């Protein structure tokens, strides 16, 4: 079992910024917080000095990281862990349900309208893949 004290965050040390902006986290005097010299973010030390949490964030959820001795590991990934399942589910529903419905429109509809519905279904099936790629392209 690893010694947990070895990975405690020391406010007197420099750490890389977890925001991936090549900055350094430095201790802020008279506080238990770290500030990035590049992006200006402030992080407070939580969980008995084992992790940091982003103090001000525009996101509705808080971002927190644990120091493993070499780099930061995100504590709460939230919905990011489920992007693949959600994307595949949306793609399957669109391709299995909507595309056949669009192709089986009433016969009195014009052919360009049927093609438009099929193209919309394919575009909406492509969007979750794009979102998945954007979510995982910078993942470390």
Query: Which percentage of the chain shows pLDDT scores above 70?
Result: 76
Statement: residue 24 has pLDDT above 50: yes
Statement to judge: residues 53 and 88 lie in one domain = no
pLDDT attached to residue 59: 62
The residue from 76, 96, 118 where one domain ends is 76
Statement to judge: residues 94 and 71 lie in one domain = no
The residue from 59, 76, 93 where one domain ends is 76
Model pTM score: 0.52
Stronger pLDDT, 24 or 136, i.e. the higher one: 24
* Share of the chain residues as helix, strand and coil, in percent rounded to the nearest 5: 40, 20, 40
Domain count, the chain: 2
Q: What does each C-alpha distance from 25 to 12, 63, 69, 133 come to in angstroms?
A: 10, 16, 14, 29
The residue from 76, 94, 120 where one domain ends is 76
Listed as own residue / partner, the contacts of 94-102 with beta carbons closer than 8 Å and 24 or more positions apart are: 94/121, 94/124, 94/125, 95/121, 95/125, 98/124, 99/125
Statement to judge: residues 9 and 68 lie in one domain = yes
Domain containing residue 105: 80-136
């Amino acid at each position: 079992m690893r010694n947990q004290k070895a990975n405690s965050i020391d406010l007197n040390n420099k750490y890389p910024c977890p925001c991936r902006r090549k900055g350094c986290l430095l201790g802020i005097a008279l506080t238990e917080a770290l500030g990035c010299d590049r992006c200006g973010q402030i992080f407070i030390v939580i969980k008995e000095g084992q992790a940091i949490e982003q103090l001000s964030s525009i996101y509705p959820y808080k971002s927190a990281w644990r120091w493993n001795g070499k780099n930061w590991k995100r504590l709460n990934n939230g919905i990011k862990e489920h992007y693949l399942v959600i994307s595949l589910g949306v793609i399957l529903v669109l391709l299995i349900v909507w595309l056949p419905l669009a192709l089986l429109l009433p016969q009195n509809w014009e052919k360009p309208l049927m093609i438009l519905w099929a193209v919309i279904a394919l575009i909406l099936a492509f969007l979750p893949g794009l979102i998945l790629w954007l979510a995982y392209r910078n993942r470390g």
